[in-house]
A = this chain, B = another copy of it.
Amino acid sequence: MQIREKLAAKGYRMTKPRQEIFNVLCHAPQSVLEIMSNLQKKKLQIDKVTVYRTLTSFVKLGIVEETQFKDKISVYELADQKHHHHVVCDTCGKIEDIELDENLLEEAAKKSSTFQIKSHHLEFFGLCRKCR
């Protein structure tokens, strides 16, 4: 399903800002600041508030996923991928995808907890090749 259809299905409209923010997100997971900077590089003037609201809508529609790392700044990435996690470089902040056998995790968690577990957040931190 295309982004336009996903929007329309819930009464959202396809607009220039939404299209451009989506395009920018196609390249890499990014913070709002980085999205703004990438939009400016393309000579696009889109307000920060519009970026925030667009991302909120995208998350609601399942187009985008929001993740928070140590510094409390949200990072957004397209949700069209397999469930996965991230490794963040302590020095340069570079983010790499990482896939794990989730069964291990969920099972171990269910065994040790009285909660009904529905989801999890997992991020690794360390040094990328360059910064090592």
Bound CA span A100–B129, Å: 29
Which residue from B87, B98, B112, B120 sits with its C-beta under 8 Å from A122?
B120
State the CA gap A127–B115 with chains docked (Å). Answer: 5
Whether the Cβ atoms of A123 and B121 lie closer than 8 Å is yes
Residues of B within 8 A of A114 (CB): 96, 128-129
Identify which of residues 62-116 in chain A touch chain B, using a CB-to-CB cut-off of 8 Å: 68, 70, 72, 87, 89-90, 96, 98-101, 104-105, 108-109, 112-116
CA distance A96 to B101 in the complex (A): 24
Chain A to chain B contacts (Cβ below 8 Å), 20 pairs: A70-B121, A89-B115, A96-B114, A98-B109, A98-B112, A98-B113, A99-B112, A100-B105, A100-B108, A101-B108, A115-B128, A116-B132, A117-B125, A117-B126, A118-B125, A118-B126, A119-B125, A120-B125, A121-B121, A121-B123
Q: Which residues of A contact B (CB under 8 A)?
A: 68, 70, 72, 87, 89-90, 96, 98-101, 104-105, 108-109, 112-129, 132
